[in-house]
Amino acid sequence: MNFCSDCGQPVELRSPSGDSHRRYVCVQCGAVHYMNPRVLLSCIAYQGDRVLAGRRAQAPDAGKWGIPSGFLEQHESLEQAAVRETFEETGVKINPARLELYSIFSLPAISQVYVVFRTELEETPQLRAGPECQEVRLIQMQEIERQDLAFVITDIDSPKILFQELKSQSFSIHKWCIDTHGVRPKETRAYRLNLAR
């Protein structure tokens, strides 16, 4: 950040009094510009042990398979973002009331928080690849080599865990902390769900 978005004058990095972090502060109007992590969303929409996935048309990881993902927009709920991204990338309409929390990642190195939902598809969906995808399919774990999976599900062992959970239909909520992209998790924990039927 070089200029104040309030008045257009230059900003400088300094610690406002009583603040533990350095901030961009406007030299003219004194506005403090806070920069906070971004929230990334993904949706695991599944039918049996098959997962709705798209082959990415764009970098990063063009040509590889990934689940619908994108950043949370202003004034949008997590569920709305998951529904929107899934529809934009695959043409599949998800019922937001049927989204279950699957995992939460802290990614401090890149200042992001990553939230993953899962939802069971009620019927075989009509698929339509959006502009971000070359191709959309319901895929099984064994169909796709690990190296063909896009960044969103390869940083960790989560594809294996996910497909095991789909097979057993016994799910956990996963909490991860990952130092950087491609590095083993610093901390993981899984909370087994024991849902009353």
| Site for Zn ion, rule CB under 5 A | 4, 6-7, 26, 28-29, 31
Query: What is the spatial distance between Cα 4 and Cα 33, in angstroms, rounded to a whole number?
Result: 8
Instruction: Compute the least distance from the CB of residue 27 to Zn ion, in Å.
Output: 8
Instruction: Compute the least distance from the CB of residue 18 to Zn ion, in Å.
Output: 20
Which residue from 5, 66, 53 is spatially nearest to 31, judged by alpha carbons? 5
Instruction: Compute the least distance from the CB of residue 23 to Zn ion, in Å.
Output: 13
Reading the block at residue 154, the tokens are 């390869």
Is the N-terminal amide bond of 185 cis, ω within 30° of 0? no
CB atoms within 10 A of CB 54: 25
Nearer to Zn ion, 10 or 63 (CB): 10
CB atoms within 10 A of CB 138: 20
Nearer to Zn ion, 26 or 149 (CB): 26
Nearer to Zn ion, 6 or 73 (CB): 6
Instruction: Compute the least distance from the CB of residue 3 to Zn ion, in Å.
Output: 8
Query: Residue 52 pairs with which residues in a beta bridge?
Result: 138
Instruction: Compute the least distance from the CB of residue 35 to Zn ion, in Å.
Output: 15
> Using a CB cutoff of 8 Å and minimum separation of 24, what contacts does 33-36 make?
33/1, 33/4, 33/5, 35/1, 36/111
